[in-house]
């Protein structure tokens, strides 16, 4: 059964959605009662007046919502000097939310839910560290202990966020198995949850995993799109296209949600990590080159071999270094409602520099993949429309966490 209009369903109804053939639950029997318990909580707690009042208050007074729209005029001129393809380039500034990325919207909502469920401990997985920081922040605010699993490679390349998590009181647990990145961190978090399911809440960071997590995360992140759409309507008008990076897919589905059914003329673009190139085995372009398979409890597109074994992904950005994608994105790809492009490591690094030097914004390497695709999307949309396009980009996070990686690449290139 295809999903109902995301704009029409309540939070409680959202947990029962499927996405075409995608989603579902492929988990150990020991987790089924916990997922059933979570579905009941989503159906009863999330719509309650007390929960909504508390979450809305914290999003406003603690997170700093609504985040603004920024008109990136200098960046638009740098990409399109003649002004023939870009009319306006608007940035939804999730980097200005507390903790520096969109992840806090979801983490705060889930930890509030965990407290209402009477859970005594929070666990999470993280890649780039932003979800880990957001979960550690929410747990500290609400007085709950927190353990965060992070691949050992990501612990090294995301040292600032590791320090932030530890300062916030979370225990960061490096994962040495497998590729030592996000996939393996999620594996370990699931193993922990199986062992401690009665007392522990697993705060999933992306719109992936077994039902009800994809719908729950999407509902908590849709504030991005709801705000952005209202801001556009009140100002420059609806965008012609919305652009976001896609790893697991939470920032993208969050901004897409407001436009999916309500505005069929608004094009939706997700941008995956092409890593070292689509002609190599060093990429994370799941929707572009993957196939249907099961990963972390859900059916979606995955990177796997002919025998169905999950392959290692690669991206210069730790948050996109994942061989799967949320099931709603798989459905949007198949139906054609959203288009999915790619950007290489080199293109993302170049985008970071361009945005910094034209707009004074240091963007996350994950976010940079969306910016790297703007020239191709602008050309495509101008051709479709017969006029310059209005583009809305989700600036999902700031790049302070990536400084070591960025400087290493700049030094290697001999750049200043």
Same domain, 73 and 137: no
Q: Which residues of 71-96 are buried (b: 16+ CB within 10 A; e: fewer)?
A: ebeebbeebbeeeebbbbbbbbbbbb
The string of DSSP letters for 314-339 reads --SSGGG--SB--HHHHHHHHHTSEE
Given the residues 11, 125, 219, 359, select the one marked as catalytic: 125
d(CA 327, CA 211): 10
- Domain holding 301, by residue range, is 66-100+221-413
Q: How far apart are the first and last CA of the chain?
A: 54
Catalytic residue status for 366? no
Phi-psi region of 154 (alpha: psi -120 to 50; beta: other; left: phi over 0): alpha
Task: Write down which residue in 217, 251, 280 finishes a domain.
Answer: 217
Task: Write down which residue in 217, 232, 254 finishes a domain.
Answer: 217
Catalytic residue status for 177? no
Same domain, 92 and 122: no
Residue 271 lies in a domain: yes
Same domain, 134 and 274: no
Same domain, 37 and 91: no
Given the residues 92, 366, 396, 401, select the one marked as catalytic: 396
pLDDT in the model for residue 410: 78
Ranges of beta strands (E only) in 218-290 are 241-245, 267-275
Q: β-pairing, 121-126 with 146-151?
A: parallel
Catalytic residue status for 333? no
Same domain, 307 and 262: yes
3-state SS, residue 165: helix
d(CA 403, CA 405): 5
Residue 288 lies in a domain: yes
The per-residue pLDDT string of the chain (416 residues; one tens digit each, 9 = 90 and over) reads 233 333 334 444 555 567 999 999 999 999 999 999 999 999 999 999 999 999 999 999 999 999 999 999 999 999 999 999 999 999 999 999 999 999 999 999 999 999 999 999 999 999 888 999 999 999 999 999 999 999 999 999 888 899 999 999 999 999 998 889 888 999 999 999 999 999 999 999 999 999 999 999 999 999 999 999 999 999 999 999 999 999 999 999 999 999 999 999 999 999 999 999 999 999 999 999 999 999 999 999 999 998 889 999 999 998 998 999 999 999 999 999 999 999 999 999 999 999 999 999 999 999 999 999 999 999 999 999 999 999 999 999 999 999 988 999 877 776 55
Place of tokens 């240091």: 362
Same domain, 199 and 249: no
d(CA 27, CA 220): 23
Residue 3 lies in a domain: no
**CATH number of the domain enclosing 262:** 3.40.50.1100
Same domain, 365 and 390: yes
d(CA 323, CA 286): 6
Same domain, 200 and 254: no
Same domain, 324 and 357: yes
Q: Is the pTM of this model over 0.75?
A: yes
Those residues with Cβ within 8 angstroms of residue 367's Cβ, 6 or more apart along the chain or in another chain: 95, 245, 394, 395, 396, 397, 399
Same domain, 261 and 338: yes
pLDDT in the model for residue 350: 97
Same domain, 158 and 261: no
DSSP H helices in 257-399: 286-289, 327-335, 345-359, 365-372, 374-385
pLDDT in the model for residue 262: 97
pLDDT in the model for residue 415: 53
Question: Considering its fold, how many domains does the chain have in total?
Answer: 2
Same domain, 210 and 251: no
Given the residues 92, 103, 119, 401, select the one marked as catalytic: 103
* DSSP symbol at 340: E
The string of DSSP letters for 90-157 reads EEEEGGGSTTSBTHHHHHHHHHHHHHHTT--EEEEEESSSHHHHHHHHHHHHHT--EEEEEEHHHHHH
pLDDT in the model for residue 16: 52
């Amino acid at each position: 059964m295809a999903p109902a209009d995301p704009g029409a369903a309540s939070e409680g109804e959202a947990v029962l959605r499927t996405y075409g053939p995608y989603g579902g639950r492929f988990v150990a029997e020991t987790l089924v009662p916990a997922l059933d318990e979570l579905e009941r909580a989503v159906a009863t707690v999330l719509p309650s007046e007390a929960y909504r009042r508390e979450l809305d208050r914290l999003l406003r007074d603690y997170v700093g919502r609504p985040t603004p729209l920024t008109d990136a005029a200098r960046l638009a001129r740098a990409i399109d000097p003649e002004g023939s393809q870009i009319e306006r380039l608007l940035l939804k500034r999730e980097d200005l939310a507390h903790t520096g990325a969109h992840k806090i919207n979801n983490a705060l909502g889930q930890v509030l839910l965990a407290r209402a469920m009477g859970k005594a401990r929070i666990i999470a997985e993280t890649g780039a560290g932003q979800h880990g920081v957001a979960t550690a922040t929410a747990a500290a605010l609400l007085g709950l202990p927190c353990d965060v699993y992070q691949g050992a490679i990501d612990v090294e390349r995301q040292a600032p966020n590791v320090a932030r998590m530890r300062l916030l009181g979370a225990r960061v647990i490096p994962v040495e198995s497998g590729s030592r990145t996000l996939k393996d961190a999620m594996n370990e978090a699931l193993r922990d949850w199986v062992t401690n399911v009665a007392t522990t809440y697993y705060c999933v960071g992306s719109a992936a995993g077994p039902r009800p997590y994809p719908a729950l995360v999407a509902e908590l992140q849709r504030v991005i799109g709801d705000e952005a759409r209202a801001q556009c309507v009140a100002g420059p008008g609806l965008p012609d296209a919305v652009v976001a990076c896609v790893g697991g897919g939470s920032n993208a589905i969050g901004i897409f949600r407001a436009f999916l059914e309500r505005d069929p003329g608004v094009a939706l673009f997700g941008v995956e990590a092409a890593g070292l190139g689509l002609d190599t085995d060093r990429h994370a372009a799941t929707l572009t080159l993957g196939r249907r398979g099961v990963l972390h409890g859900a059916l979606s597109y995955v990177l796997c071999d002919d025998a169905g074994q999950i392959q290692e992904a690669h991206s210069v950005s730790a948050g996109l270094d994942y061989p799967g994608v949320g099931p709603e994105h798989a459905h949007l790809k198949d139906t054609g409602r959203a288009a999915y492009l790619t950007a290489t490591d080199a293109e993302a690094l170049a985008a970071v520099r361009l945005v910094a030097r034209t707009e004074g914004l240091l963007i996350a390497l994950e976010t940079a993949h969306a910016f790297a695709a703007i020239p191709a999307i602008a050309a495509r949309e101008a051709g479709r429309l017969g006029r310059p396009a209005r583009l809305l980009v989700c600036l999902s996070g700031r790049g302070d966490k990536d400084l070591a990686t960025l400087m290493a690449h700049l030094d290697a290139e001999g750049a200043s």
